[in-house]
Amino acid sequence: MRNKLVDILIAKGIANTKVLDAIRTVPRHLFMDSGFEGHAYQDKAFPIAADQTISQPYTVAFQTELLEIEPGHKVLEIGTGSGYQTAILLLLKAKVYSIERQLQLFKKTNLFFKKMGYRPKKVIFGDGYKGLPEEAPFDSIIVTAGAPEVPKALLSQLKIGGKLVIPVGLEKQTMTMFTRKSEKEFEKKEYGAFRFVPLLENKN
């Protein structure tokens, strides 16, 4: 079933073989809520706890491909959710830091990582808008929720040459990539429309 999913992703334009191999390897059904496992290899988003979603495989592959991850890259993920995107990043041998603002998901996914032997460097319960200044700078930052605006803190936590991939917009989002060219200059590229649950600010 995973091979078939990979064929679908290739047909939709995903070409990076390391990304495709990671999708072929990670057992997405184990990241799903009970009742949905049977649908895990459809190219669709599904509900997880706390009214959130596990991203569509095409979206995961698309965002990951844009990051051009090399082994050892330091990557910050905003929106741990089910942990599926985290697992894909780990298979690419990135050092992953992941932030989740829903306590229920943070706890559940942390336990799941331990049970499965996935080893992100840190999973943090907190507000991704602020990034993770104590671990900056990062080779890549990936935001897996729709951001009404681009958090300045995230841009400031990129290495020179580092990339921020973020879906920007309210109802629908435009996949946007910022590459840091120098201390003050960022190159911006846009890649079409996607739909995400919203990136929310913490009230605590």
> Strand 186-194 and strand 173-180: pairing?
antiparallel
In a 13 Å sphere around the CA of 160, the CA atoms on its Cβ side amount to 5
Binding residue (CB under 6 A) for ligand SAH from 57, 81, 120, 167: 81
- Which 179-198 residues touch ligand SAH, going by CB under 6 A? 197
Sequence length of the chain is 204
At what angle are helices 2-11 and 17-25 packed, to 10 degrees? 150
Nearer to ligand SAH, 6 or 142 (CB): 142
Per-residue binding string, ligand SAH, 94-133, x by CB under 6 A, is -----xxxx--x---------------------xxx----
Q: Is 140 in the site for ligand SAH (CB under 6 A)?
A: no
Catalytic residues: 55
Nearer to ligand SAH, 6 or 61 (CB): 61
150, amino acid identity: V
| Part of the chain binding ligand SAH (CB under 6 A), chosen from 4-12, 32-40, 80-88, 110-118 | 80-88
**Counts for the chain of helices (H) and strands (E), in that order:** 6, 9
d(CA 169, CA 203): 21
Residues that bind ligand SAH (CB under 6 A): 52-55, 78-79, 81-82, 84-85, 99-102, 105, 127-129, 144-145, 197, 199-201
